[in-house]
Structure 1
Amino acid sequence: MLAVLGIEVNISSNSNEQIAIDTFDYYLYQGLKIDTRPEPRADKLISALNVLSDKLLANNHLNRSQVKVVICNAKNDNIQSFTNTFSDVLYCESLSDALNFCSQVSVEQSKATILMSVDGRDLNACAAILISTQHAFQDVNSQLSQCHCYAYINAQSIVNSAFDATAKSQLIEQHIYDFFVRNSSNYEQIESIIINQSMSSISADEHAQHCLSLSYIDGQQSASTDKCTLLTSIDCYDSEDADFMALLSLISTVLCVDQQYRLGYCGDLLSRSEPTDSIAEKCADLPYYLLSESTSYLPQCANQIRQLVLSFVAEHSHQLVLVSNSDSSNNKQIEPNYNNGFLAQQKMKPIIFKSTSVQQLIEALHCCEQSISRTAQSFTQFSENHLRHGHFKHQSLQFNQNQQGYYCLVLLADCFEQLIAQIVLACNGLPKAISNKQVWKTPLGSYCSGHLVEENQYKKPLSFVYPGVGALYVNMGKDLLRLFPHSHQALNLMSSDLSRSLQDLLITPRHLKVSDEHPLQDQQNLRRSLANIAEAGVSYAYLLTHIFQCGLSLNASSAAGYSMGEVSMFAALGCWKNPDLLSERLRQSPIFTEQLAGPLKRLDLAWGEAKNGNENAWESFHIKVGLMQVNAIIAEYPRVYITIRNTPESLVIAGEPKQCLALAKQLGVRAIALNVPNIIHCELSRSEYQRMQSMYSLPVQQKLACQLFSTSCYLPVPITEKAIAVSISKCLTEFVDFPRLIKNIYATGERVFIEMGAGKSLSTWIERILKSNQGSVTCLSVNQKNLDDYTAILKTVATLVSLGYPVNLQPFYNGTLVRPVNKIAESVLVS
């Protein structure tokens, strides 16, 4: 067993960007290709190797005399002057030999080993990991005991492969099978199999097929249909150097464990000569699945053991490595990592300009444009220095008697060319917008409110609004925990089973083929169970709220929920001491599993034989029409109910689909099915009122610096156990008038609303509801189906900064997955 105590890479890219470990982690997760440039000069390579090793040593407070070096390549004269600076260097011909030597050194000498490799093709990349055994790592008198363990290497194996393709395939398949048996593992214990190959006679898809065959070896096909093992590949870097690729693949596997994510797969496993339908049928029951995009790993319980197998094929060998977050000898687990630089690695950055006048603002923009032509910095360095030193905040910012604030412009860009284009747009459009006190914005997300920001304003009001469960969608929020890893801790306090709470199986469906055929069915599966999506809706609201409150330092002064979003509101803002208890009740209660959702047993009692076992006996529809028009004819349709008023001109009706469609036809409007067959917000749901009140009765936190509005009374609700339970029960069993709720919140002085959930329906409706009110209103959404998580949040942040909110922007520029290590105190002899 080996412990990985440090990881680092150094790759020269064509963009003149030196790719280190945080950037490599970003490329790996995003599935982006690293565009490398050759470095034929040996002195450049020596410099890169020195930087690489010095980083590893400095991070762990070690020096060169305290470690051994293993070079996983054939001996290379180009790096002779580098290896001369270490006391002991060994060259190995394979990753397997290198790992064996690292283990031997650590046991015999209690030293760590730097395992290093160089891309021998163009000398443009090097990679290294710092390794020790458990014995040296846990020696309290050693500096190694202070190091952080990124992952454990619990087993490894290598076989020489045959030249014949058929024999080679059989050898690989048997090697995988023997490796699993020898290490007491099967596919149910392996969370991911990560494949990679270099100069191999097989493709990535063929390699993956060998892993699939594991379920058929010796005729032992799995009886399980649960897809529990991810099959994926490393695709961000290509090289003909097998030794370098083997080490880079190992580092990638360690990153998946340490950074708690799962990799997407870009291939097509079913692309064989055999008919696709036949293979799809054959593979349907296999325990493996693919992901089209990388996503966060969600454990089913606290301290869950993760085991990943790296399968690496070279021209004449096949290597397997078992990587885990747990030491196989004593099941000791690594403390989860809640730090990374993934947010800081995002390409698009906010560039902020502040000035007391339009003229000064335009001057600052021209100054920025001129400085771009002179800078030798990368765009990321330029934007970070801009934030740190405030280069474009006009130095005077002096206020006269008639001026009590400043204008704030936020430009979004991911490169200098894009920033210049945004500057040109701003110079052309800002004067008119500010003169008319109108918002100026671009499709990219650049923003200026057009109003003065009050200097040193103590507290700005902000309202969080929570959408209903119908807004959830497949692959929602897949990057949130990567962008804001500290939220793991908050979620762990909320739930002991994050996979269940965030509905991992429904939000991130398992398939053995990435196909356009799945999304519609996956979305229908997600909406089928009200209890499941209610739980997921609460959990994602909790996650987003924690990100904004703790990650970005933005606290709400008021909040409201739309339909079941009211439950999300109380949970997300910390009203309940133990929100995990609600998840258990939602799963066990017949309210949302039998009566008002699922088989809809409530209809059996209400409609009797008229339901006739029809699974489509109930549906909700959105119609664009006023409340009075529907009330005028609804008596003609006894099985139709008005459930929600979204805006003055739009409603949600629910009931028997045939009657709902007939009502809409009579009014001459289109009825859009919401595919949410749940009986709430009408008189039929009142039979469950008492049981709802019991279910939502949970011990509460007494202090909350936020007013929580409810449609049960359209006023703030007292933070007591009974008041909250009554509020939610009334909300879910009565008609909801959303415009009335929003107008009451607006009357308290709220002008900025942030939709804390999926989609932007609420923010759109709030704009329509308040369009006739005097004074500007800003409505924002933090998660949209057509935007990645970072872009959606960044656009929201840009608007809030322009409005003068004190957003914490440091994580957008700084961060690293490398953990700080304490330096052990040296013993001092005293005479």
Structure 2
Amino acid sequence: MKSIARNQKLAIVGMDCFVSNSPTLNKFERLIYEGKQNSVTSENYQQTPLSREVINSALEDAKIQPDRKIALIIISPTENSAKLANYISAELAFFAEENSLLSALDVSKKLLISQQVEAVLIVGIDKNYPIEINLTGYAFSYDEKAQSIIKTAGAAAVVLQLYETAKQRNHCIYAVIDGLSVVKDAPNHPETVKQACQEAFQIADVNAADIGYLEVVASGIPNADIAEIQGLISAYQTGAENLSCALGSVKANIGNTQASAGIFSLIKTALCLYYRYIPGVPQWFNPKQPEIWHGSPFYVAVESKPWFLEPGATKRIAAVNIMEEDNIYGHLILSEEISQIERSSQYLAEMSYYLFPIAADDRASLLTQITALQQSLTDVSSLSQLASDYFQKYQQYQQSTYALAILSRHPEELKREIERAIQGVKIAFATGKDWQTPLGSYFTVNPQGKKGHVAFVYPGSFTSYIGMGRNIFRLFPQLYDDVVVKSVYNRAADIEKFIYPRSINKLSKRQLETIEQKLINDPVSMLEWEVGLARLMTVMLKNHFRIQSPHAFGYSLGETSMMLAQGVWTSFKSTSDYLNSSPLFKTRLSGQKNAVRQHWGLPLIHAGKSEEFWSNYILICSSSLVQEVLKNESRVYIVLINTPEEVIIAGETQACERVIQTLKCDAFPTSINHVIHCEPMHSEYDELVKINTLPSQANSKTIFYSAAEYAPMKIDSNLIGKNIAKALCHQLDFPRLVNRAYNDNIRIFIEVGVGSNCSRWISEILKDKEHLAVSLNRRGVDDHTSIIKALAKLFSHRVELDLSPLYSFPNIKLDQDNACENQSSFPDTSLLNYEHKIKSTPNYKSLNDHHVRLAKAHGFLLKSRQTSLQQLSLFLQQQLDLYKKMVTQVRKEK
């Protein structure tokens, strides 16, 4: 066995790669995160020019100065690979050709330790071979439905430095190589794989349980796959019933790139550590030989998800398994560099759902600008760049009276949205009504942002669902470093197993429903997750889009979320710990509901036993009518008044059913069955005060409203706890709270948290008054789409905000520790110059043409899908209008 010196770590400081249809590192990373399979083309790529671009991009990414000595190591070279040395932008002090990644890493380590060079560039170049075309996509060979692995072309490069050198140079560190084991001249056997793993653990000083993601070879060769699987299961066995390590293989995304496959695996794993996510595996169903996986720590994520630190962990750790020709085996341990606070990302700016901002002071000028955008589509090659250009153009119209947001994913869609906008703007000026499309384009002639204030509205709890908030950390990676989010990392790691379930098999719809029911039955976990999501969204709005909230209020337990999200509380850990040990949401208000039993004089039930007697129902009926019927029912309560025509009653199940039968109104059981906002929970007042009494910061300029008095409240630690407890122990009249805020000239209501119930209720409460209510999260809609649609409305209503994070130039560093302070940000023109430099390279046009062809290929499918969605939306609106007319008619007849 041969291993790299134990006391020296390496750092990956630069990377780049090229694979068909994903010609940049950013596009490759997007492919990985989105769990997609790369489109294969049969084009004949010229290796030398492509490899030259990859090499110099990796060096530029590493910020290696021209006067620094570097080494170039080519893996599996071709007859032309030596020519690449002529194109190195730094001083080349060493050149070598190796047959494997393992040997290249070994040579790199020796060169760096001996200080012969400051950095080593390892490049993988494929031999010339025909690219295999498979329209069914690639496969993770561990899957029961997988057949053969498809060969593809690609080039990849990484730049390595000694870890200490990289830190001294203040270089970006994608990942740290903590250790590598190499086993030579060994048989293709599970014990060989196990030996390589265990020696790597020892070198890196980690345990198998510490590793959260494992990138495997998955060669598709049956004997090799069996040896790898069995060896890994044996080496990673922890003895605990805990799915702690995700499996994946880059071959499921891009096929087998042969000589560069190992470097692609290394790059993928480094990116996952850098951006802190577990990658999804496309087209995964079930493993081959399912019996051998029982009791293993492995699971497969079918969608990418945030990577939270496990309790007690200080950093994320991953591994790459390596099996090469000539019976050489290796295991590589990597970890994130926790001091790497700034983790630059263009992911949000390159999302293919673009907002085109247009503003003017009158109808004619607005239409002129729309027409100009329409004319610019004749020769557009990049919709992202066009959107960025229009954002820059908008800067001179920022103070305009009117603003239009046009949303689009591709040129054909933009063309249709522009045509609709021309007519929509004319109609809006003629009728005074807002205009919007199913896609999200929006315009109002009555902007509320200039007339009134903005309020953040925090929804109540117990509405969590599987998969919620999955993409928000990738869209805004700085959120990981928020001080409050960090304070609840340990609980997040536990709760996320409900939100993003783990399994070695792809879970069926029924299995997911069962898991979600377990989540519903765990109110503490739901409350903690929802409080955390509210914080994330608040920081996103304030720190990224510079939307300030001079006012805020919450619905029910949303008042708790509000305090943490707005930074009044700076830590939720003590409350989290207390909630998990308190019987409040376990046996008192949930589960056995002993608080109710005690109030009604019923026998108490111990933990573990349950006898359901309590129900919650939504009633489509006025509260006054319901209150009249409740005069005859002592065990039914109006707990929540959502709108003038929607209330929630709670109480003894049979009594609730009698109320509904008497009223003869539409009624629906709620998905949760906890006790809240009623007389039987008065006994829990002191416990609620204790949970909601935390050290507070009184320097916030935000005015906070509470349902305790339906008025602004003073920011004082003791008073906050008492106000929240009082509000939770009594009926909540949401229309009263909303109207109080409206009377204080609040016109813009932004729902910050899970779902869109509050924004819907506010629109119903204020339906005859000028206002705007928007939400940022809706089940079934991805986070990015919801956020962009909300921003479009806020922009048109002239709310003060900064849209620059949506466009293809970077933002300045954000202050994550101060979510309440407004800071201006400006684009870094140096990167705009860099973009111009990239556009001037010889291959830029051919690559752009390639993307244009791909966009056109998808055009017909997207067009038909959009048409279907519009028709469905119209049908649903018609049905809703018909239902409202019928209800109105029935009431008149009564």
- TM-score normalised by the shorter chain: which range applies? 0.7 to 0.9
**2:390 corresponds to which letter in structure 1?**
H
Contact 1:57 1:63 in 2 (8 A): no
> Which whole-Å CA distance do the structure 2 matches of 1:183 and 1:760 have between them?
47
Q: Determine which of 120, 123, 140 is the counterpart of 1:116.
A: 123
State the one-letter code of the partner of 1:27: L
Is residue 392 of structure 2 the alignment partner of residue 388 of structure 1? yes
- 1:69 corresponds to: 72
Query: C-alpha distance in 1, partners of 2:485/2:756?
Result: 28
1:688 aligns with 2:692: no
The one of 568, 572, 579 aligned to 1:586: 579
* Deviations, residues 756-800 of structure 1 (Å, cap 9, x unaligned): 111111111111111133xx2211110111111111111111111
Which residue of structure 2 aligns with residue 631 of structure 1?
Answer: 627
1:801 to 795, 810, 814: 795
- 1:335 alignment partner in structure 2: 340
How big is each residue's C-alpha offset from its partner over 1:170-209, in whole Å with a ceiling of 9 and x where there is no partner? 76566556655776655312111122445x3249xx9499
**Counterpart-to-counterpart distance in 2, 1:60 and 1:615:** 66
Q: Which residue of 1 aligns with 2:774?
A: 780
Contact 1:48–1:126 under 8 Å retained in 2: yes
Which residue of the partner structure matches residue 151 of structure 1?
175
605-614 vs 184-193, which moves further: 605-614
Question: Which residue in the other structure is 2:513 paired with?
Answer: 520
The 8 Å contact of residues 176 and 211 in structure 1, kept in 2 or not, is answered as no
Q: CA deviation at 1:597?
A: 2.3
Corresponding residue for residue 414 of structure 1: 409
Change (3 A) 1:706 1:424: same
Which SS does the other structure have where 2:784 is aligned?
Answer: helix
Question: Residue 19 of structure 1 aligns with which residue?
Answer: 23
Range 511-520 or range 343-352, more displaced: 511-520
Aligned partners of 2:62 and 2:172 also within 8 Å: no
Alignment of 1:262-273 (within 5 A): 262-268=278-284, 270-272=286-288
Stretch deviating more after TM superposition (109-118 or 580-589): 580-589
Corresponding position of 2:379 = 374
Looking at structure 2, the residues matched to 615 and 29 of structure 1 have their Cα atoms a distance apart, in angstroms, of: 45
Deviation at 1:118, TM superposition (A): 2.4
Of the three residues 538, 550, 555, the one matched with 1:557 is 550
Aligned residues, how many? Answer: 777
Secondary structure of 2:638's aligned partner: strand
Change (3 A) 1:469 1:283: farther
Q: Is the Cα–Cα contact under 8 Å of residues 341 and 817 in structure 1 kept in the other structure?
A: no
Q: Partners in 1 of 2:447 and 2:650 — Cα distance?
A: 46
SS of aligned partner of 1:19 = coil
In structure 2, the CA distance between the partners of 1:696 and 1:419, relative to structure 1 (3 Å rule), is same
Aligned to 1:35: 39
Find the aligned partners of 1:119 and 1:64 in 2 and give their Cα distance: 30
Indicate conservation of the 8 Å contact 2:318/2:335, yes or no.
no
Alignment of 1:570-719 (within 5 A): 570-609=563-602, 613-719=609-715
> What's the CA shift for 1:609?
4.8
CA distance in 2, matches of 1:255, 1:495: 25
Percent identity between matched residues is: 24
Query: Is it true that 1:131 corresponds to 2:137 in the alignment?
Result: no
Q: 2-side partners of 1:12 and 1:250: how far apart?
A: 15
Q: Partners of 1:379 and 1:305 in 2: how far apart?
A: 38
Which residue among 496, 515, 523 is the counterpart of 1:504? 496
1:525-564 map, 5 Å: 525-564=518-557
Residue 147 (structure 2) aligns with? none
Q: 1:695 to 1:239 in 2, by over 3 A?
A: closer
Query: Is this contact kept in 1: 2:403–2:797, CA < 8 A?
Result: yes
Once residues 785 and 532 of structure 1 are traced to their aligned partners in structure 2, the CA distance between those partners, rounded to angstroms, is 18
What is the CA-CA distance between 1:443 and the residue it aligns to?
Answer: 1.0
Matched, 1:201 2:221: yes
Residue type of the alignment partner of 1:357: D
Q: Which moved more, 1:186-195 or 1:543-552?
A: 186-195
Of residues 542-551 and 688-697 in structure 1, the stretch that sits farther from structure 2 once superposed is: 688-697
Structure 1: distance between partners of 2:687 and 2:579: 11
Contact 1:617–1:656 (8 Å) recurs in 2: yes
Any residues of structure 2 matched to 1:172-187 within 5 Å, and which? 172=193, 176=197, 185-187=206-208
Residues 350, 798 of structure 1: 8 Å contact kept: yes
Q: What's 2:63 paired with?
A: 60
User: How far apart in 2 are the matches of 1:686 and 1:365?
Assistant: 59
How has the CA–CA distance of structure 1 residues 533 and 58 changed in structure 2, closer, same or farther, with 3 Å as cutoff?
A: closer
Alpha-carbon distance in structure 1 between the residues aligned to 2:680 and 2:557: 17
- Distance in 1, Cα, partners of 2:547 & 2:200: 51
Cα deviation for residue 107 of structure 1 reads: 1.1
Contact (CA 8 Å) 2:463, 2:526: kept in 1 or not?
A: no
The alpha-carbon distance between structure 1 residues 415 and 13, as it changes in their structure 2 partners (threshold 3 A), is: farther
Alignment of 1:432 with 2:427, yes or no, is: yes
- Verify the 8 A CA contact 1:643 1:681 in the aligned structure 2: yes
2:96 to 80, 84, 90: 90
Tell me the SS of whatever aligns to 1:503: helix
Deviations 1:516-542, CA, capped at 9 Å, x for gaps: 232212221212222222222211111
Gaps of 5+ in 1: 327-331, 398-403, 821-831
Residue type matched to 1:633 in 2?
V
Shift of 1:725: 1.4
**Distance (Å, rounded) in 1 between the aligned partners of 2:161 and 2:123:** 14
Partner of 1:823: none
Name the counterpart of 1:829: none
1:345 to 331, 343, 350: 350
Q: Does 1:308 align with 2:301?
A: no
Gaps of 5+ in 2: 1-7, 132-151, 814-827, 829-894
Distance 1:244 1:726 in 2: 62
Distance 1:784 1:119 in 2: 45
Q: CA deviation at 1:642?
A: 1.5
**1:216 and 1:81 mapped to 2: Cα distance?**
42
Partner residue, 2:361: 356
Distance, in Å, in 2 between the alignment partners of 1:615 and 1:810 is 55
Displacement of 1:474 in angstroms is 1.6
Name the SS of the counterpart of 2:725 in structure 1. helix
Give distance in 1, aligned partners of 2:722 and 2:474.
37
Query: For the residues of structure 2 that align with 1:214 and 1:13, how far apart are their CA atoms?
Result: 31
Is residue 297 of structure 2 the alignment partner of residue 287 of structure 1?
yes
> Deviation digits for residues 574-595 of structure 1, max 9, x if unmatched?
2224443322332233322332
8 A contact 2:283–2:302 mirrored in 1: no
Aligned positions of 1:735-754 closer than 5 A:
735-754=731-750
Give the aligned residue type for 2:559: E
Tell me what 2:852 maps to: none
Query: 2:750 is paired with a residue of what secondary structure?
Result: strand
Q: Distance in 2 between the 1:530 and 1:445 partners?
A: 34
Structure 1 residues 58, 610: CA separation in 2 closer, same or farther (over 3 Å shift)? closer
Post-superposition Cα deviations, 1:405-440, rounded to whole Å, max 9, x if no partner, equal 532111111222211111111123221122111111
In structure 2, the residue corresponding to 1:471 is in which secondary structure?
coil
Q: Is the contact between residue 5 and residue 130 of structure 1 (CA under 8 Å) also seen in structure 2?
A: yes
Deviations for 1:308-353, whole angstroms, at most 9, x for unmatched residues?
A: 1123456776754433326xxxxx8543444322212211111111
Letter in 1 for 2:161: S
1:104 aligns with 2:110: yes
CA distance in 2, matches of 1:157, 1:658: 67
Q: Which has the higher helix share?
A: 2
Question: What's the offset of the Cα at 1:96?
Answer: 0.5
Tell me the secondary structure at the aligned position of residue 272 of structure 2: helix
